[in-house]
Structure 1
């Protein structure tokens, strides 16, 4: 009975995986189909790389992906740094009003991002940062999710480690750097994955703050390119395929870490 149940689960999972991969496969096949040809015609396939050459000649796809990579990487690193320091302070440093301040941070999770767009736009305008990559990086650093995840992890670490470090003369910064950061790699990995993906896929705020094509991210550049070829199927599919290939490569390389990160956020222990 158990064996039949396991085989059933595997079959269902395989079917779901195939259904999830079908759109990606269709996109790749369409990107290799020359404009004006059917995917399958006359008993033979008509596949070529001509669409990729047209797209690369007509749009700065790699420049958009480079902007997305810069924004996502800088955002992720800064979130890990600031969130880990704030979480350590809330978890181990006792100061007046720490619990109330932490509750204020958590209340920020209940505010939808759309509600902050207008004040955020005005703030970036007054700081003369609109239209730059800084305007995409800095607002993402104020998210409370990273502080919450890391504080929960820090609260579960033995206090004896901190006390032993204090007996050796270590201060708060050294304890955070040499003890808490190395032990919190699972939590930091999960936070890094979700921060990077969230920054890479962000669309609404870049749409409002960026107008120069030179500073567009890939999520903003693709709709701009597709709107120029509304009557074409192959070229927009090709542009989307180019934007998807790096993400697929990252997933294939770091799939174990991504799965561990998802499992970690589902419970306190992995």
Structure 2
């Protein structure tokens, strides 16, 4: 029975990995190649000339930097803001606390697309369109992250907080010395999921940026694809280069990503 499970698992893994292998192999073929059979995709000659052409003649690497910079900023600020809001909702007493919690919870019920028009209007009024600020600040609010982190903060014993307060520690010392270290796995999961979500975000960057120097990968890649509709190699080179950072991120943080997805499924 075990060998059957392993065999099925290997076949399923091959099904998911094959498109990546096919993309990589086609990306090192010569431009303008002829394809008459399936084997033509995988047989020589091979060449890396198209990689050099795409890197030097397009803004792909610049868009990769934009995506990485925006994703890192969104990740750090979202985790920090969500952690502070969750800490307040969990451990600090204030008026209308219950109402505020359900107000944040209601944010999960509103589709993101429904907020695009007012969000765009606000970004226009404060003059942050076509800027890194316009790509970062409007997407920082995350009710999902606040709800998840609040559930973890609720599990931190109040005795620990009281012991720090007895020693003269204030709210910020409790937050940085007690709450953040004890909820590190949850923070790491939220950070990784936020990074991936920002990296793959298409709709808001598409609406808020018209300068191609500020394009992120999801917005920039389609503009390149329109130029190479009659060739297979350049689109595969573009997708391969664009996929390398996120594949490397997955390989490095595989356990945290899987844990974060499973954690979000349980808590959500």
Q: What range describes the TM-score normalised by the shorter chain of this pair?
A: over 0.9
Contact map agreement 1:37 1:46 (CA 8 A) in 2? no
Cα RMSD over matched residues? 1.6
Instruction: Give 1:66 deviation, angstroms.
Output: 0.4
1:139-154 to 2 correspondence within 5 Å?
139-154=138-153
C-alpha deviations, 1:97-155, integer Å up to 9, x for none? 10111100110111111111111111111111111111111111112111111001111
1:1-270 to 2 correspondence within 5 Å?
4=1, 6-38=2-34, 40-41=39-40, 44-267=43-266
Contact map agreement 2:26 2:42 (CA 8 A) in 1? no
The gaps in structure 1 that reach 5 residues or longer are none
Instruction: Give 1:51 deviation, angstroms.
Output: 1.4
C-alpha deviations, 1:159-207, integer Å up to 9, x for none? 2111211211111111011000001111001100110000000001111
Contact map agreement 1:186 1:264 (CA 8 A) in 2? no
Instruction: Give 1:44 deviation, angstroms.
Output: 4.7
Instruction: Give 1:10 deviation, angstroms.
Output: 2.5
Task: Return the alpha-carbon distance in structure 2 between the equivalents of residues 233 and 43 of structure 1.
Answer: 13
Q: Structure 1 42/154 Cα, relative in aligned 2: closer, same or farther at 3 Å?
A: closer
Runs of 4+ that moved beyond 3 A? 38-44
Task: Return the alpha-carbon distance in structure 1 between the equivalents of residues 266 and 207 of structure 2.
Answer: 36
Instruction: Give 1:219 deviation, angstroms.
Output: 1.0
Contact map agreement 2:105 2:143 (CA 8 A) in 1? yes
Instruction: Give 1:266 deviation, angstroms.
Output: 3.4
Q: Structure 1 46/210 Cα, relative in aligned 2: closer, same or farther at 3 Å?
A: same
Task: Return the alpha-carbon distance in structure 2 between the equivalents of residues 260 and 66 of structure 1.
Answer: 27
C-alpha deviations, 1:60-111, integer Å up to 9, x for none? 1110000001100000000111100000000001111101111001101111
Task: Return the alpha-carbon distance in structure 2 between the equivalents of residues 38 and 246 of structure 1.
Answer: 30
Query: Which SS does the other structure have where 1:228 is aligned?
Result: coil
Task: Return the alpha-carbon distance in structure 2 between the equivalents of residues 205 and 42 of structure 1.
Answer: 36
Contact map agreement 2:32 2:231 (CA 8 A) in 1? no
Contact map agreement 2:70 2:132 (CA 8 A) in 1? yes
Instruction: Count matched residues.
Output: 264
Contact map agreement 2:26 2:41 (CA 8 A) in 1? no
Contact map agreement 1:130 1:210 (CA 8 A) in 2? yes
Task: Return the alpha-carbon distance in structure 2 between the equivalents of residues 159 and 10 of structure 1.
Answer: 47
Q: Structure 1 227/43 Cα, relative in aligned 2: closer, same or farther at 3 Å?
A: closer
Task: Return the alpha-carbon distance in structure 2 between the equivalents of residues 42 and 215 of structure 1.
Answer: 35
